[in-house]
Amino acid sequence: MHAASSEQEIEKIREKLEIISEKNRFAILTVLLAIGKPVSFSDLLKITGLNPGTLNNHLKKLEKIGVIEKEGKAKWKRNEKRSYYQISEEGEKLLNHLGIGKSKEALRKWLQGKTAV
């Protein structure tokens, strides 16, 4: 019984790694890790250079496996809702296990030239 449980857990991790290994999804995750706070969809567009449909597709896949979280916030001036994304605790743990967490500061420096986030 324990062996089957371990196998299922390993398979879940393998599936997550397969999804995040796509270069754009991996870039999105590392950007969210480096920024360390919720980032708007429009800022992610600027940072990644992806078109809105492609970015939205990648974000949905990352959200589905639980490595990012989406938050909607109302912008009071125009009463419109904006989407903000951040890396989840699970996503951060996964990247730290891969050794990416050690690169946070280098990623932050790189991002300074890309956005004012």
3-state secondary structure 52-109: HHHHHHHHHHHHHCCCEEEEEEEECCCCEEEEEEEECHHHHHHHHHCCHHHHHHHHHH
Q: Tens digits of per-residue pLDDT, 29-52?
A: 989 998 889 999 999 999 999 999
Per residue in 93-114, pLDDT (tens digit) is: 888 888 776 666 666 676 666 5
Q: Give all strands of the β-sheet with 39-40 in edge-to-edge order.
A: 39-40, 80-87, 68-75
Letter string b/e over residues 64-102, b meaning 16 or more CB atoms within 10 A of that residue's CB: ebebbbeeeeeeeeeeeeebbbbbbeebbebbeeeebbe
User: Mind listing the domains of the chain with CATH numbers?
Assistant: 2-112 (1.10.10.10)
How does pLDDT run across 41-83, given as a tens digit for each residue? 999 999 999 999 999 999 999 999 999 999 987 666 666 778 9
End-to-end CA distance of the chain: 47
Encoded tokens for 82: 């904006």
- Nearest residue to 42 via CA among 30, 50, 31, 34: 50
